[in-house]
Amino acid sequence: MAALFCQTAAHAMTHAASASRHAIIIGGGPAGLMAAEVLSQAGVRVDLYDAMPSVGRKFLLAGVGGMNITHSEAYPAFLSRYAERAPQIAPLLREFGADALRQWIHDLGIETFVGTSGRVFPTDMKAAPLLRAWLKRLREQGVTIHTRQRWLGWNADGSLRLQGPDGETRLHSDALLLALGGGSWARLGSDGAWVPLLAARGVALAPLQPSNCGFDVQAWSELLVSKFAGAPLKNIAMGLNDDLPRLGECVLTASGIEGSLVYALSAPIREAINRDGAATVHLDLLPGKAQGQVEAALARPRGSRSMSKHLHSQVGIDGVKAALLRELAPKEAFDDPARLAAAIKALPLRLVKTRPLDEAISSAGGVPFEAMDPSLMLTALPGVFCAGEMLDWEAPTGGYLLTACFASGRAAGLGLLGWLNQGLQSGVEATTL
């Protein structure tokens, strides 16, 4: 039922914005494609441009190993994942949240299921069939997709500059929608090259920063790197400040740590580093045991056994956990069961910087909601709308990133449609800058 988008707001606007109106979309990720669907279903002629040889490249790569499309948790918890931007994301999700996204996928002929973690996946776990079905529908609706076309900004007369294999072209449209992604994964098109183009037009921007990223320590010992770089730390908990530690797992890297547990805390860790120059997280290496239990076990006589064998036999700590304990705990703690138990339950790890932006799964920063009206139109550039990861919000992995990209693309498409209709009704010609 592709008619999902023809309900409510889109129906109320009817087809006043007909094929006589023309919109250009820059960016072929989920947000741009969703905006194209909204507009084309309302009769707007849509040309979508992308700098890469094909659209949806980051979407496809995100689906390698399992296409986590959204999450099934209750709405209040779902919304809380967007932290301080929850008030701005809430209207988008109310109109097109997790349930609506799943129904939309079903309408494409792709079934979904909820995994044991609550994450939602297509039944075949793949992104490619979903993207193929979607692109087929968009083309049938009249959307024209142009690849290998890099947006370079505006000419003096307000026309758009596009650079392609055959040189630069100049384009005009009635409205423009930008869905250019953030600043991570430049090889897939999200390179942040749009930042100076918008800044030159007076749009206030928040600096792009890594999100869902790894972090570096000052330095690991050569022994730890040579033996355990790349080793997973499983069944641990990690906490920052006085917040309750989170259960999960991460990976020891040659320069620090990364992985799902780290990504879940990446925003507050990054902000602590920005503020204080470093952030100290505490690792609980045995989250299933109370500190008193660990202390009592370690206090048992070890006789002629080495400390390594004692840790293994009494509390099950060995391998990378034992190596990390040796790396970070004071030497004196190994002679005191109470101190050693305290270290095992709250091992301090000092992180000094994020990994580079281009390594991050996503990015924070970009176009602030304060620079747009409620329809996601830039107040500094009437007729120019923004959507997706280029907006200043962030969320953890688990389907939250994709859901908000889809929802913001839909909202910006409806906003652009309303702006075109308003221009038609008032008899005022709507043109981009």
For 75-115, what is each residue's pLDDT tens digit?
999 999 999 999 999 999 999 999 999 999 999 999 999 99
Q: In this predicted model, what pLDDT tens digit does every residue of 114-171 receive, in sequence order?
A: 999 999 999 999 999 999 999 999 999 999 999 999 999 999 999 999 999 999 999 9
- pLDDT surpassing 60 at residue 257: yes
Q: In this predicted model, what pLDDT tens digit does every residue of 407-432 receive, in sequence order?
A: 999 999 999 999 999 876 655 444 44
Q: d(Cα 80, Cα 3) in Å, to the nearest integer?
A: 30
DSSP 169-213: EEE--SEEEE----SS-GGGT---TTHHHHHTTT---EEEEEES-
Q: What is the mean pLDDT of residues 21-32?
A: 96
Provide the pLDDT for residue 430: 43
Q: What is the mean pLDDT of residues 50-56?
A: 95
Tokens standing for residue 333: 């703690």
Q: In this predicted model, what pLDDT tens digit does every residue of 296-344 receive, in sequence order?
A: 999 999 888 899 999 999 999 999 999 999 999 999 999 999 999 999 9
Provide the pLDDT for residue 424: 61
CATH of the domain spanning 2-210+364-426, picked from 3.50.50.60, 1.10.3720.10, 3.40.920.10, 3.40.1400.10? 3.50.50.60
Provide the pLDDT for residue 413: 98
Q: What is the mean pLDDT of residues 257-261?
A: 95
- pLDDT surpassing 70 at residue 291: yes
Residues listed for the chain: 433
Residues of the chain with CATH 3.50.50.60: 2-210+364-426
Band the pLDDT of 16: cuts 50, 70, 90.
very low
Structural element, H or E, at residue 417: helix 400-426
